[in-house]
């Protein structure tokens, strides 16, 4: 008993700021390694961007469209299962990723890669050579193992060799396509409909390599949908962390990381009641927005050249935000596409013009809507200039609200033009702008993912270490573009592995 008491007394403490996927993952692994761990979250709900909410008897999913790492036996799936995100959860597999209606054609991105190839060639026999090259590149990327066992700098020689061998075909794909936009890549195809698919498959100027990686993940069976959506997944992770003895303090706004002689000693935070408090720890992990970490929590006292460069070159390193419109449909949409990319009359969002909409049909989640009804949403990509537009409206609530309603009416009209049988059956449930993401997650320029990958961008594989601080770490999706849930997951784990290395501990998994 004395030994156990001494052991508990000598436990080192970790404070994590932010209870998103990265923060919860770091918390779970920290508890499994024997650290005392407390997570501070400014909202009353954990999950960060991985969340959902109810409106008018419907459920809105604010995050997951699909998740990388759903394939059993993959390294990512092991982590998802360990944090209880996907463990014992139904994984919904669709036959196709998207269906595009372009130039009078209907084109499917099928899960079956041979079916995908054959249908492309049947549609556009003149593009047979380029189609085969595309399929070859997709298959090359399929062989890549997503680095998930440990950070590259902590890999053993066998692990590193295995990782590099799996990426032997991926390097050539990256070299050819990373700096090539999907718009430029689309010109390789002569068939107008196929060319249009590649032109609009990703946001403007996005790297063609991203689309190839996305198709590779899906056709491999490693990118599917966990039943129940984002909020349930976040709740499962929170429950796992609490079951290990971790502590989550919600409704706590962290205002500062305290530093003494270049060493983080703890945090200052404000409770919902307005009380100012301090908590001390041996390690501080910031699992929130990187810009907020440097400029608010660290009071601009510490900088990182990699991030400074990116934040000051928005034309090259543009952040990714979006407008998310969710509608209730008083109809059963079982026989409608579950993900439809639809060409339409031009419309403007922020300062950007669009000629397509992507309609997500949640008919596969019957609990999201009353019986016989369905939830749909439309996600519209937005960049830094669009953020400035929304910011200019935000402080006049009447104008801001009117612009969101105007946009919702435009999108609703486009959907009704394609599906006239739904006229009078569609109503707006909620409209999110980049300002929503900034308000909810304090995210830089309303970003919901990290920097875009495009022409002129350089890869960022950040360790999370903050120069000049020995015991304060960054974690989360900002450490590796383009971000997203899988990056948040792996970075959360990697951060604890680095702390274990510093402590001379064997990382237990």
Contacts of residue 222, Cβ cutoff 8 Å, sequence gap at least 6:
68, 69, 70, 71, 74, 76
Residue 145: domain span: 94-220
Task: Report d(CA 400, CA 422) in Å as an integer.
Answer: 28
Q: Looking at the structure, do residues 129 and 142 belong to the same domain, yes or no?
A: yes
- Whether residue 268 lies inside any domain: the answer is yes
pLDDT in tens, 103-131: 999 999 999 999 999 999 999 999 999 99
Domain end marker among 421, 446, 471: 446
Q: Looking at the structure, do residues 215 and 113 belong to the same domain, yes or no?
A: yes
pLDDT in tens, 157-201: 888 888 877 778 788 888 888 889 999 999 999 999 999 999 999
pLDDT of 8 > 60? The answer is: no
pTM for the whole structure = 0.94
pLDDT of 9 > 60? The answer is: no
Task: Report d(CA 256, CA 233) in Å as an integer.
Answer: 29
pLDDT in tens, 227-274: 999 999 999 999 999 999 999 999 999 999 999 999 999 999 999 999
Q: Looking at the structure, do residues 357 and 436 belong to the same domain, yes or no?
A: yes
pLDDT of 346 > 50? The answer is: yes
Q: How many domains does the chain have?
A: 3
pLDDT of 10 > 80? The answer is: no
Q: Looking at the structure, do residues 242 and 276 belong to the same domain, yes or no?
A: yes
Domain end marker among 165, 192, 220: 220
Q: Looking at the structure, do residues 214 and 136 belong to the same domain, yes or no?
A: yes
Selected residue with higher pLDDT from 330 and 314: 330
Helix (H, G, I), strand (E, B), or coil: what is residue 450? strand
Q: Looking at the structure, do residues 232 and 215 belong to the same domain, yes or no?
A: no
Q: Looking at the structure, do residues 257 and 189 belong to the same domain, yes or no?
A: no
Q: Looking at the structure, do residues 435 and 485 belong to the same domain, yes or no?
A: no
Helix (H, G, I), strand (E, B), or coil: what is residue 330? coil
Task: Report d(CA 347, CA 105) in Å as an integer.
Answer: 22
Q: What is the mean pLDDT of the chain?
A: 93
Task: Report d(CA 39, CA 174) in Å as an integer.
Answer: 37
pLDDT in tens, 388-399: 999 999 999 999
- Whether residue 59 lies inside any domain: the answer is no
**CA-based torsion, 434, 438, 444, 449: positive or negative:** negative
Residue in 81, 57, 457, 471 with CA at minimum distance from that of residue 264? 471
Segment 439-463 shows an average pLDDT of 86
Segment 303-328 shows an average pLDDT of 91
Segment 345-363 shows an average pLDDT of 96
- Whether residue 377 lies inside any domain: the answer is yes
Task: Report d(CA 408, CA 445) in Å as an integer.
Answer: 22
Residue in 260, 296, 256 with CA at minimum distance from that of residue 276? 256
Q: Are 97 and 236 in contact (CB under 8 A)?
A: no
Q: Looking at the structure, do residues 278 and 355 belong to the same domain, yes or no?
A: no
Q: Looking at the structure, do residues 280 and 261 belong to the same domain, yes or no?
A: yes
- Whether residue 88 lies inside any domain: the answer is no
Token pair belonging to 108: 């499917």
């Amino acid at each position: 008993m004395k030994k156990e008491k001494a052991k508990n007394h000598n436990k080192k403490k970790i404070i994590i700021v932010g209870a998103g996927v990265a923060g919860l993952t770091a918390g779970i692994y920290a508890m499994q390694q024997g650290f005392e761990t407390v997570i501070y979250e400014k909202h009353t709900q954990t999950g960060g961007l991985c969340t959902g909410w109810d409106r008018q008897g419907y459920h809105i999913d604010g995050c997951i469209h699909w998740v990388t790492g759903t394939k059993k036996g993959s390294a990512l799936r092991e982590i998802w299962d360990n944090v209880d995100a996907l463990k014992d959860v139904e994984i919904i597999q669709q036959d196709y990723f998207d269906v595009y209606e372009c130039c009078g054609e209907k084109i499917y991105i099928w899960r079956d890669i041979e079916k995908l190839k054959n249908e492309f060639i049947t549609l556009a026999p003149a593009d047979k050579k380029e189609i085969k090259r595309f399929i070859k590149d997709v298959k090359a990327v399929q062989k890549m193992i997503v680095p998930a066992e440990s950070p590259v700098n902590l890999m053993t020689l066998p692990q590193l060799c295995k990782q590099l061998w799996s990426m032997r075909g991926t390097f050539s794909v990256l070299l050819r396509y990373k700096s090539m936009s999907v718009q430029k890549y689309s010109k390789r195809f002569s068939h107008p409909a196929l060319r249009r698919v590649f032109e609009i498959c990703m946001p403007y100027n996005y790297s063609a390599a991203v689309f190839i990686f996305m198709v590779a993940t899906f056709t491999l069976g490693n990118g599917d949908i966990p039943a129940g959506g984002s909020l349930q997944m976040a709740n499962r992770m929170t429950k796992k962390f609490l079951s290990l003895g971790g502590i989550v303090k919600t409704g706590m706004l962290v205002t500062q990381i305290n530093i003494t002689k270049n060493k983080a000693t703890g945090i200052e935070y404000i409770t919902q009641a307005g009380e100012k408090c301090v908590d001390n720890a041996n390690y501080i992990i910031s699992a929130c927005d990187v810009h907020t970490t440097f400029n608010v929590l660290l009071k601009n006292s510490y900088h990182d050249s990699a991030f400074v460069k990116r934040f000051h070159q928005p034309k090259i390193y543009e952040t990714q935000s979006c407008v998310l419109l969710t509608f209730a449909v008083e109809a059963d949409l079982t026989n409608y596409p579950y993900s439809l990319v639809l060409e339409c009359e031009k419309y403007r969002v922020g300062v950007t013009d669009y000629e397509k909409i992507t309609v997500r049909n949640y008919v596969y989640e019957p609990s999201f809507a009353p019986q016989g009804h369905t939830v749909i949403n439309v996600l519209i990509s937005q960049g830094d200039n669009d953020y400035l537009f929304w910011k200019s409206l935000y402080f006049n609530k009447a104008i801001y609200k009117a612009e969101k309603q105007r946009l919702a009416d435009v999108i609703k009209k486009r959907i009704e033009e394609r599906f006239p049988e739904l006229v009078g059956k569609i109503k707006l449930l909620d409209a999110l702008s980049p300002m929503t993401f900034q308000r909810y997650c304090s995210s830089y320029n309303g970003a919901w993912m990290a920097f875009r990958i495009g022409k002129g961008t350089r890869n960022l594989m950040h360790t999370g270490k903050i120069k000049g601080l020995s015991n304060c770490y960054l974690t989360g999706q900002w450490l590796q573009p383009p971000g997203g849930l899988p990056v948040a997951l792996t970075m959360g784990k990697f951060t604890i592995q680095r702390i274990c290395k510093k402590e001379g501990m064997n990382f237990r998994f």
